[in-house]
Amino acid sequence: MISFEQTVSVLDALPDPAFLISRSGQYLAAFGGKDCRYYPDAKQLVGHNISELVDTATAQWAIEQVNLALDSQKLLIVEYEIGKSDFKGLSGAGPDESIWFEGRIQPLGFKANDESVVLWVASNISQRHALEVKLREMSDTDQLTGLYNRRKLENELERHFELFRRHAVPTSVLMFDLDNLKIINDALGHFAGDELILAVADLCKSELRTNDVACRFGGDEFVVALPNIEREEAVRLAERLHGCFERSLRRFAVDQVTATVSMGVTAMLPADASYLDTLSRADIALYAAKNEGKNRISAL
């Protein structure tokens, strides 16, 4: 048999911090997590309620997780981001940047101060989370341009179409491609063609809003989803972007042939069965611009 003191010593040797937390959100005890490279000092929290230490929304979320675990009497696993600076009055050693945690919340079979309690073990998963974010970004990103790829665009359009269908939140779609890319490729080589595509991508990054979804759809074709924009405003945005392309792409020229851009603009309509109808209409508008002589904007 080991003594109570030895048991506490074992718990304090845990690499990750572990807390006893009551149903109301009171920190009753803290163990482990002594490595200040990864964790702040957990024992500072003991004796306080979660609601005293963090903002209201975070406290409500944490107490809700405690109660979910207690009500289900099952292990609950959650992921969350929080840092030392998010705690009121928490000081001392520990990383200054926010930490991503995996919380394992286990209901315990006894009460403390007449309240049910859980054991909340918080494991630092910041490195794993950063890798997951990087892999997700890579899977959503076009390798040449750094814009989103077709997969990401289709996911975003599906999400925005659902918002449009349910809540009439508008989304417009801008589709465009490069005129005369083959001529430039044949005369100057494919590296020049890649530079041209990169120049278009860079202008998209600098001129579009942060919540616009700019995508290299394939080859020299690009699609931009414009959330919360009606068609008329999307046309004005397309005109401004077209002017940027016209000024910037003049340097890509062969004899009398200059790189230009043709554009098609549309918006989601009540008659659309899915985002694919919207995308198809943008494609029709683009090819109308091409057939009308290129280097222009067509809207449907």
- Say which amino acid occupies 259: A
Residue ranges covered by each domain of the chain: 4-131, 141-299
Residue listed under structure tokens 């006893």:
20
Question: Does domain 141-299 sit in CATH 3.30.70.270?
Answer: yes
Check residue 31 and report its DSSP letter.
E
Does the pTM of the predicted model rise above 0.85? no
Torsion sign, CA atoms 84, 89, 90, 91? positive
Asked if residues 102 and 77 have their Cβ atoms less than 8 Å apart, the reply is yes
DSSP 142-192: -TTT-SB-HHHHHHHHHHHHHHHHHH---EEEEEEEEETHHHHHHHH-HHH
Phi-psi region of 236 (alpha: psi -120 to 50; beta: other; left: phi over 0): alpha
- The SS3 call for residue 223 is strand
Q: How far apart are the first and last CA of the chain?
A: 80
What is the full per-residue pLDDT of the chain (300 aa) written as tens digits?
A: 777 788 778 778 888 999 999 999 999 999 988 777 777 777 888 999 999 999 999 999 999 999 999 999 999 999 999 887 788 867 666 677 888 999 999 999 999 999 999 999 999 999 998 888 887 777 889 989 999 999 999 999 999 999 999 999 999 999 999 998 888 888 888 788 899 999 999 999 999 999 999 999 988 999 999 999 999 999 999 999 999 999 999 888 888 788 999 999 999 999 999 999 999 999 999 999 999 999 999 999
Which fold would CATH assign to domain 4-131? Beta-Lactamase (3.30.450)
Tally DSSP H helices, then E strands, for the chain.
9, 12
**CB-count exposure of residue 86 (10 Å: 0-12, 13-18, 19+):** middle
Spell out the residues 6+ positions from residue 52 whose beta carbon is closer than 8 angstroms to its own: 88
